[in-house]
């Protein structure tokens, strides 16, 4: 809870300018910008937040509108193009002492007029302007009369975002790539995706799309199918045999569509001239591939070391996600594009065994650790450590052996324990590997499963049997040490714990046995960091993750702000060992593909700055990205005006239990047709926002 001088954020007025007992605000905005410098004021789509009464609100308002108009207004609608220009000119005149009191009424009229803008960028930008004129009228009148006090020195930093873009861990410019599809510009759409995401075919298929939980269209009817539209852009390129633009020889056309100036900023530049400093990446998973891609575009020679054999690049995507969700050839295509930029891929090489981390540090100017989380967690039940035949090491291990064509040790009656996507993948893959019965056991209800709803539905359709609110307690085996069943107990929901979530508790006398010949624990994974020597100078947390640098966000009392995951902070991804960075699962624990890509992208930028400037730091853009992410851009309670509802498009899908027949790993979800993609893109409300801070 931070005390403020004034706030109109969220349409809740808090005015402490007159003294007295201070009113507190509940929004999550730090009072320091980078852990040290005070954040004096914030101006954005939902109002003004003022921490420092010395901030010249008219000057900040004028600068805010100047940046909105000159840097972010698309000019594609008259109210936005003309309205922001008039506002900019009026505010500039007021600040320069050329304004009139009647100008304040004009600003109020423009606020009403610009509610008819094509999208919400210019429209939402008028909200803090109106709040400033309404609640700081005396300051504006002082400017007009020429009686103002000298302006205190502040630096302004702005950032444009959108609710979906903010919620995306990779911070892809989602409205831009959707807008391009709406304009039939699939090449520009994919270029906008690749600006932050070098694995578009992957995240167009297996992303849990948290962006859709923050889609303002959801406040009208249904969210935009953001993930599938990303797939549409990716599929268009390979279906039409187009060369990825970053691989097109200089002088040739990079995008095989007509020039459209609005999307030109998303055309990737050709890779920069080859640089001398070399970088090693440990792990060819999403984080490692993303870091390599963006470093290679900057001209750096990058070598990736991967423990899996050739053909299994992609890390957990390759060996942890079934081909019926992510076709192998499309994953390999994304990897081949990265390799074509000059990234060397060395397979069958385990760090700590085939080559030491110290050797990597000696050979390369920087090292990025992104080994993923490939070690299964134990269940903690009686009998799991007895070496019984049929008790498999873990879900990730089972999936890896299945995808690599190795014996899995699976029988005909399979029980999988867990409630996440890996557990769901295991029960579905078990059917494809010949199981006659595939059972999932989870200690909570179906509604509480962390697995994606659509994945659970897919398992249900394929014939998986579910045992909800059931906890395994003992693995049962015969005299030959072969698994014959798993003893379980029914669970009932008890009182809420400290987190507010009700904990499942055993029901006395409810014990029963599920007959099976295979038990697969799939309750989570951990990174395997055994390749890092204890004396290497890299700290490991009690959760078995690498300790990296961070910038904490503070409240008014100087204490670290907290969120549901711990401290609110910006992560620099540099370890205590000079020149060694870490990201993805190894740095913060098991993450989604898109979160690992976001981590790898940031690591690439930080590594580049460290190599070129000798220090690792976060830029204004990255700091603002994190501040906005903690503040939150989406408002689930917002009343979004819209003329009419428009039905969400759904991609074609193979249905029926036969899709899970023996060795049938054909893709289940088939994507949009191009016309479907355009119709779905037309539903987007293009919800851009611009925020600006005074430091």
Q: Among candidates 580, 588, 584, 573, which has minimal Cα distance to 622?
A: 573
Is residue 573 scored above 80 in pLDDT? yes
What pLDDT, on a 0 to 100 scale, did the predictor assign at position 660? 86
pLDDT band at 569 (very low <50, low <70, confident <90, very high): low
Handedness of CA 447, 378, 390, 478 (dihedral sign): negative
Handedness of CA 28, 599, 321, 336 (dihedral sign): positive
What pLDDT, on a 0 to 100 scale, did the predictor assign at position 263? 57
The two structure tokens encoding residue 331: 């994953």
What pLDDT, on a 0 to 100 scale, did the predictor assign at position 253? 54
Helix (H) or strand (E) holding 459: helix 453-462
C-beta separation of 410 from 392 below 8 A: yes
C-beta separation of 264 from 185 below 8 A: no
Question: Could you tell me the domains of the chain?
Answer: 2-161 (1.20.1440.230), 171-270 (no CATH), 279-374+527-631 (3.50.50.60), 376-526 (3.50.50.60)
Look up tokens 């819209």; give the residue: 642
Q: What is the pTM of this model?
A: 0.91
For range 643-659, the mean pLDDT: 86
Look up tokens 């790539």; give the residue: 177
The two structure tokens encoding residue 654: 């193979």
Looking at the chain, the whole-number percentage of residues with pLDDT higher than 70 is 93
Average pLDDT, the chain: 88
Q: Among candidates 21, 20, 28, which has minimal Cα distance to 1?
A: 28
Is residue 55 scored above 60 in pLDDT? yes
Residue 124 to residues 57, 86, 223, 358, Cα–Cα distance (Å): 18, 16, 20, 52
Q: Among candidates 548, 523, 436, 432, which has minimal Cα distance to 472?
A: 523
For range 172-192, the mean pLDDT: 92
What pLDDT, on a 0 to 100 scale, did the predictor assign at position 564? 44
Least confident of 209-218, 338-347, 537-546: 537-546
Distance CA 254, CA 436 (A): 51
- pLDDT tens string 400-450: 999 888 999 999 999 999 999 999 999 999 999 999 999 999 998 898 888
What pLDDT, on a 0 to 100 scale, did the predictor assign at position 97? 86
The torsion angles phi and psi of 303, rounded to 5 degrees, stand at: -120, 125
Q: Among candidates 25, 15, 105, 114, which has minimal Cα distance to 69?
A: 114
For range 607-625, the mean pLDDT: 93
Go through the chain and tell me how many residues it has.
Answer: 695
Look up tokens 């995306």; give the residue: 168
DSSP state of 554: B
């Amino acid at each position: 809870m931070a005390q403020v001088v004034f706030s109109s954020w969220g349409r809740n007025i808090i005015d402490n300018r007159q003294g007295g007992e201070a009113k507190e605000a509940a929004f999550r905005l730090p009072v320091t910008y980078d852990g040290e410098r005070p954040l004096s004021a914030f101006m954005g789509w939902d109002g003004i937040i003022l921490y420092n009464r010395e901030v010249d609100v008219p000057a900040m308002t004028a600068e805010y509108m100047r940046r909105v108009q000159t840097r972010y207004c698309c000019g594609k609608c008259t109210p936005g193009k003309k309205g922001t220009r008039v506002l900019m000119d009026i505010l500039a005149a007021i600040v320069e002492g050329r304004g009139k009191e009647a100008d304040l009424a004009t600003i109020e009229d423009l606020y009403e007029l610009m509610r008819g803008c094509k999208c919400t960028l210019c429209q939402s930008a008028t909200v803090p302007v109106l709040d400033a004129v309404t609640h700081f009228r005396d300051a504006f009148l002082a400017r007009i009369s020429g009686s103002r006090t000298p302006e205190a020195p502040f630096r302004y930093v702005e950032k444009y975002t959108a609710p979906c873009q903010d919620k995306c861990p990779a911070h892809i410019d989602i409205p831009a790539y959707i807008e391009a599809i709406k304009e039939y510009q699939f090449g520009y759409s994919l270029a906008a995706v690749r600006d932050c995401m070098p694995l578009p075919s992957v995240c167009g298929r297996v992303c849990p799309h948290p962006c859709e939980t923050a889609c303002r269209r959801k406040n009208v009817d249904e969210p935009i199918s953001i993930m599938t539209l990303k797939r549409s852009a990716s599929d268009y390129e390979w279906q039409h045999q187009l060369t990825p633009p970053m691989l097109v020889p200089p002088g040739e056309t990079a995008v095989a569509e007509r020039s459209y100036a609005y999307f030109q900023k998303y055309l990737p530049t050709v890779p920069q001239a080859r640089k001398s400093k070399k970088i090693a990446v440990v792990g060819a998973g999403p984080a490692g591939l993303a870091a390599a891609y963006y470093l290679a575009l900057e001209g750096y020679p990058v070598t990736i070391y991967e423990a899996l054999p050739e053909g299994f690049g992609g890390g957990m995507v390759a060996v942890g996600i079934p081909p019926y969700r992510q076709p192998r050839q499309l994953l390999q295509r994304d990897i081949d594009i990265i390799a074509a930029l000059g990234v060397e891929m060395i397979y069958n090489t385990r760090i700590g065994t085939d080559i030491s981390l110290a050797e990597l540090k000696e050979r390369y100017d920087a090292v990025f650790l992104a080994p993923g989380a490939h070690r299964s967690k134990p269940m903690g039940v009686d009998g799991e450590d007895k070496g019984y035949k049929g008790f498999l090491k873990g879900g990730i291990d089972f999936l890896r052996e299945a995808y690599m064509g190795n014996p899995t040790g699976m029988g005909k009656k399979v029980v999988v324990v867990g409630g996440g996507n890996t557990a769901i993948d295991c029960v579905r893959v078990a059917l494809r590997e010949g199981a006659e019965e595939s059972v999932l056991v989870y200690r909570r209800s179906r509604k509480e499963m962390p697995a994606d709803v659509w994945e659970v539905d897919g398992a249900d359709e394929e014939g998986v049997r579910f045992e909800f609110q059931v906890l395994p307690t003992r693995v049962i085996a015969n005299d030959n040490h072969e698994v014959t069943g798993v003893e379980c107990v029914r669970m009932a929901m008890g009182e809420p714990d400290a987190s507010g979530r009700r904990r499942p508790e055993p029901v006395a006398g409810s014990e029963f046995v599920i007959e099976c010949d295979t038990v697969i624990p799939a309750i989570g994974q951990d990174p395997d960091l055994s390749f890092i020597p204890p004396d290497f100078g890299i700290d490991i947390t009690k959760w078995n993750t690498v300790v990296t640098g961070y910038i904490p966000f503070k409240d008014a009392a100087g204490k670290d702000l907290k969120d549901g995951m711990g401290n609110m902070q910006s992560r620099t991804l540099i370890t205590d060992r000079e020149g060694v960075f870490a990201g993805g699962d190894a740095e913060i624990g098991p993450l989604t593909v898109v979160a690992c890509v976001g981590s790898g992208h940031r690591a690439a930028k930080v590594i580049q700055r460290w190599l070129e400037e000798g220090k690792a730091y976060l830029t204004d853009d990255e700091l603002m990205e994190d501040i906005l992410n903690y503040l939150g851009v989406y408002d689930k309670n917002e009343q979004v005006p819209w003329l009419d509802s428009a039905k969400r498009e759904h991609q074609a899908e193979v249905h029926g239990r036969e899709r899970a027949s023996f060795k049938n790993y054909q893709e289940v979800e088939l994507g949009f047709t191009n016309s479907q993609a355009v119709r779905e893109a037309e539903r987007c409300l293009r919800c851009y926002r611009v925020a600006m801070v005074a430091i």
